[in-house]
């Protein structure tokens, strides 16, 4: 059995930040499914939204967030995060993150603007902010003597008092599968943090990395945590449409710098849908693209930034420019083919302002968590901000707690399972799940589509439960098990919302109700 003061599951921005902030005082274990640099944080292009300039205000950022959230943002959580935004960015600068400079700006850094923002407030490192941030923090994590990193380890399930037959239901650690040798190890910790990202891989088309299988959300639900607002899946409006481009995002900032959405004949269409046109919030832009594609039978629409110079594009969007050019698309001369794709899970594990969940000693941060910031639709570039602020909040809470006595935890029991005979079942079920979730639980929904998905999910649940109970586990099986549970939570939440709001649009309930309430699911085990 491995033992740490604090165990962090996930190596995105939230997990790395927390590890660094705790390591001066705690023995920290950090496990990640693949390498430290895999995950969604490293793919973030746009940047971090925070009030840094004298031309901006906390109230403007607050109101922009509330507007995008369509009445469902938790105002206390939103204010808390926005008020701590500058401190979070200053901490990253102190760690050595190379944000793009601009001496003509009163901050000394270039600030861009994205959809839904009323000001330029997005600090960034060219168009690869996430990569720059992650590389900087990973280097610090790898050098720290108090941080033990376990790569290629996937969490199987949380170890709770209830599972141990104790009277409490606190979290004592996790069982984790070493995917290199297929051995399940026991990891004990006084505090455990879920920082595993979202569940974008439940959909056929997504900007998310392969690791985004909703592991933390599924484990928390099985442990007895409430889950909120899972019906609000953000579809990014502009994912590169190309047969050889896997899930490549075209940043919101391209539209922020004047990029225009057009039909194949060159006509703009966003002004027909919203007065803010290309700078409308993501849900509106994604629905507009979906509408035009279905109405006209299009495979994609086009994002045109060719009015900008090669020098401008090379400076502000070097990654996008180079990637498109490698695929034969010169964005300085021709538009970029784009389609919407599942991008961000706005709901998740309910966490308070200290990132605490319903299970004692269990925390949730980043995309895994539901803090109330994003409401019915996340405002662009608020996600990395939330990671930083809530990682700091969790660190403060953990450092303020007295140490607890530990005791031995039982080993993983494999005495009654055998080797799997047909692994094709896993890949087949994975493909089926992602196809019907895209078809039935996508950008526009109906009750009939949701009920079809619900029926198929139940059939998959039965098959997976039988497989999990009888055969040795694998990372593919664990991910499928978690994804199907996430799909069930998404569909259940969507069926409970009898209105259209933010990212959830129902043809059966096209109107928005006068009062907004979050969808809160309570697990049977709670």
Instruction: For residues 283 and 7, give the distance between their C-alpha atoms in angstroms, rounded to a whole number.
Output: 35
The answer for residues whose C-beta is within 8 angstroms of residue 397's C-beta and 6 or more apart is: 354, 355, 356, 363
Give the orientation angle of helix 383-399 with respect to helix 85-95, to 10 degrees: 90
Q: Which tokens go with 109?
A: 């850094």
CA distances from 175 to 179, 185, 281 (A): 13, 6, 40
Cα torsion angle, 357, 359, 360, 362, sign = negative
Instruction: For residues 268 and 250, give the distance between their C-alpha atoms in angstroms, rounded to a whole number.
Output: 18
Instruction: For residues 499 and 451, give the distance between their C-alpha atoms in angstroms, rounded to a whole number.
Output: 16
Report the DSSP beta bridge partners of residue 111. Answer: 123
Q: Is 282 a catalytic residue?
A: yes
Q: Is 272 helix (H, G, I), strand (E, B) or coil?
A: helix
Active-site choice (170, 282, 287, 449): 282
DSSP state of 471: B
Task: Label residues 152-162 b or e (16+ Cβ within 10 Å = b).
Answer: ebbbbbbbbbb
Q: What is the residue-wise DSSP string for 108-135? A: SB-EE--TT-SS--EE-STT-HHHHHHH
Active-site residues, by number, are 282
């Amino acid at each position: 059995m491995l033992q740490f003061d604090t165990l962090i599951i996930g190596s995105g921005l939230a997990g790395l930040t927390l590890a660094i902030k705790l390591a001066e005082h705690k023995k920290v274990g950090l496990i990640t499914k693949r390498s430290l640099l895999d995950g969604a944080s490293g793919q973030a292009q746009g940047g971090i939204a925070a009030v840094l300039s004298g031309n901006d205000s906390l109230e403007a950022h607050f109101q922009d967030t509330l507007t995008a959230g369509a009445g469902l943002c938790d105002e206390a959580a939103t204010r808390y995060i926005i008020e701590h935004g500058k401190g979070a960015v200053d901490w990253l600068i102190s760690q050595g993150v190379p944000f793009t400079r601009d001496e003509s700006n009163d901050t000394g850094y270039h600030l861009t603007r994205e959809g839904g923002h009323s000001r330029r407030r997005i600090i960034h490192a060219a168009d690869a902010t996430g990569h720059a941030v992650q590389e900087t923090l990973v280097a610090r994590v790898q050098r720290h003597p108090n941080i033990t990193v376990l790569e290629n380890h996937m969490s199987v399930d949380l170890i709770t008092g209830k599972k141990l037959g104790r009277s409490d239901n606190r979290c004592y650690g996790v069982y984790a599968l070493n995917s290199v040798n297929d051995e399940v190890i026991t990891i004990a910790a006084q505090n455990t943090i879920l920082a595993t990202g979202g569940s974008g891989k439940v959909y056929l088309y997504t900007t998310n990395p392969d690791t985004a299988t909703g592991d933390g959300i599924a484990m928390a639900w099985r442990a007895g945590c409430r889950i909120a607002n899972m019906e609000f899946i953000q579809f990014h409006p502009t994912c590169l449409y190309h047969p050889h481009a896997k899930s490549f995002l075209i940043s919101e900032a391209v539209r922020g710098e004047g990029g225009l959405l057009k039909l194949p004949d060159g006509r703009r269409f966003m002004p027909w849908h919203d007065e803010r046109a290309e700078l409308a919030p993501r849900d509106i832009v994604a629905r507009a693209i979906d509408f035009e594609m279905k109405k006209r039978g299009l495979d994609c629409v086009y994002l045109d930034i060719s009015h900008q110079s090669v020098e401008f594009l090379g400076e502000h969007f070097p990654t996008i420019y180079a990637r498109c050019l490698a695929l034969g698309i010169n964005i300085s001369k021709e538009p970029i083919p784009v389609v919407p794709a599942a991008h961000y899970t706005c709901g998740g594990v309910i966490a308070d302002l200290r990132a605490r969940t319903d299970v004692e000693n269990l925390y949730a941060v980043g995309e895994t968590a539901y803090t109330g910031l994003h409401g019915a639709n996340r405002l662009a570039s608020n996600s990395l901000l939330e990671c930083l602020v809530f990682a700091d909040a969790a660190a403060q809470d953990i450092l303020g707690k007295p140490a607890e006595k530990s005791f031995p935890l039982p080993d993983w029991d494999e005495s009654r399972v055998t080797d799997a005979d047909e692994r094709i079942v896993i890949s087949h079920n994975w493909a089926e799940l992602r196809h019907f979730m895209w078809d039935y639980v996508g950008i526009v929904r109906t009750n009939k589509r949701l009920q079809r998905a619900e029926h198929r999910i139940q059939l998959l649940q039965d098959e997976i439960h039988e497989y999990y109970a009888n055969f040795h586990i694998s990372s593919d099986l664990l991910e499928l098990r978690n994804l199907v549970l996430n799909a069930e939570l998404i569909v259940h939440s969507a069926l409970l919302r009898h209105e259209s709001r933010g990212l959830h649009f129902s043809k059966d309930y096209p109107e928005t109700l006068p009062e907004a309430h979050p969808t809160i699911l309570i697990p049977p085990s709670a």
